[in-house]
Amino acid sequence: MTGTRPLSEHVRAHLIATGVLTTEGLGRRAGLRQCARCAAPVLVGLDASRCALLVVLDLAALDRWGEAMALLAGRPTFELWGREIEYRNHFKIAGGQPRLVIAEHDCRVRAEPSAEVLALFVSAPPRVSPRTVVF
């Protein structure tokens, strides 16, 4: 096979809807979405810069104990670097928890979104001073 074929329109629409592709191209920034099965808010994005997988994550920040429970339940964990997701392999887990750690989404687990995680993805409403309000 020579050359590359352009993405079909339905594949491109799916990648944009899941946050993998922006209208400008591929992106590493994760985005807030709603789980199609349980309607919980989730974070969707690529888990690495190379050989990345699309992951769907809960918005609850985990402490060490929470991460251990997630791993024992078979849910991989990830770090947030700004709006980018990084898979936590055994080296990173052994190295401690320097950043926000979240786990793969599981519809059976109800976890409250953390304010720290939401703050990264939800922009604050613009502040309007009383002098700029026009009626």
Q: Rounded CA gap, 124 and 41, in Å? A: 18
- Contact with Zn ion (CB under 5 A) among 15, 32, 35, 69: 35
Indicate the residue among 5 and 37 with the shorter CB distance to Zn ion.
37
By beta-carbon proximity to Zn ion, the closer residue of 40 and 120 is 40
What's the full length of the chain, in residues? 135
Selected from 13, 16, 38, 68, the binder of Zn ion by CB under 5 A is 38
**Residue 69 engages Zn ion in binding (rule: CB under 5 A):** no
Choose the stretch contacting Zn ion; rule: CB under 5 A; options: 40-48, 67-75, 109-117, 123-131: 40-48
Tell me how far apart the alpha carbons of residues 111 and 29 are, in angstroms, rounded to a whole number: 22
Q: Minimum Å distance from CB 46 to Zn ion?
A: 19
56 vs 101, which CB is nearer to Zn ion? 56
Question: How far apart are the C-alpha atoms of 103 and 1, rounded to whole Å?
Answer: 39
Q: Cα dist. 61→9, 43, 80, 101 in Å?
A: 36, 12, 10, 6
Q: Tell me how far, at minimum, the Cβ of 58 lies from Zn ion, in Å.
A: 9
Residues 106-135 that bind Zn ion (CB under 5 A): 107
Report the alpha-carbon angle 55-14-119, nearest 5.
Answer: 50
For 99, residues 6+ apart whose C-beta sits below 8 A from its C-beta are: 79, 80, 81
Tell me the number of residues near Zn ion by CB under 5 A. Answer: 5
**Residues found near Zn ion in the complex (CB under 5 A):** 35, 37-38, 40, 107
